[in-house]
Amino acid sequence: MIAIVDYGMGNLRSIAKAFEHVGADAVVTSSARDLQEAERIVLPGVGAFGEAIANLRSTGLVETLGEEVFRGGKPFLGICLGMELLATDSIEHGRHKGLGWIDGTCIPLQPNGVRVPHTGWNNIDLANAASTPLGRVSNGEDFYFNHTYHFVPADESTVAAWCTHGTRVAAAVAVGNVFATQFHPEKSQQAGLELIADFAAWAPESAPQAIRTSTP
């Protein structure tokens, strides 16, 4: 079973339907027991960082997420804002502390001749993707993005794919059993469904202890 974390922000039903479409059993939940019983965990997100991290902490699930992902070694997928929340912090409408699972910060996209927010299709350039759910994705594949801020990792070796929108943007990150995308796979048609199916079958090579994390 795949647990999709409900903390009041995210297009939860669309994500659940995408997993159902590829034959995976998924449940939208805010229950710690469901996270404990799940084989995999998905953290979606749409909206502002500060409100999202406050909502997530108010559910009381942050400690359970840390236990299941790090000590339990469960495959984890963050989507859009769910990827940004993995950062050390964000400067969106003030400075907010994130989960700190992957060192880095979230900063605003700069126009640089392009529209902000970054909304629509964009192609990705694979980086350290071989052992991630992106392993079968072709370099240059298009995915659907919708964001105003982006996660800048402190260590670029954590980036599994890049895209360009006025500047180089981390389109996906991966460390150990943690994988996250800035784009929305559930809105990315066939390529997105294939990625979702591959996450549902993903067996990470790295031990959870290999992930750099502050105490959640």
Tens digits of per-residue pLDDT, 126-174? 999 999 999 889 999 999 999 999 999 999 999 999 999 999 999 999 9
Structure-token pair, residue 179:
């994988």
Phi then psi for 117, rounded to 5 degrees? -70, 160
Q: For residue 21, what pLDDT is reported?
A: 97
pTM: 0.94
Those residues of the chain that have pLDDT short of 70 are 206-216
Q: For residue 209, what pLDDT is reported?
A: 45
Q: For residue 206, what pLDDT is reported?
A: 64
Q: For residue 10, what pLDDT is reported?
A: 82
Pick the CATH number of 2-208 from 3.40.50.880, 3.30.70.60, 3.40.50.150, 3.10.690.10: 3.40.50.880
Q: What are the residue boundaries of the structural domains of the chain, listed by start?
A: 2-208
Question: For residue 105, what are the β-bridge partners?
Answer: 89, 152
Q: For residue 213, what pLDDT is reported?
A: 45
- Taking residue 70's Cβ as centre, other Cβ atoms within 10 Å add up to 20
Closest CA to 3 of 23, 36, 20, 26: 26
Please list the active-site residues.
80, 184, 186
Q: Are 150 and 106 in contact (CB under 8 A)?
A: yes
In angstroms, the CA 153 to CA 103 distance is 6
Q: For residue 208, what pLDDT is reported?
A: 52
Percent of the chain with pLDDT over 90: 91
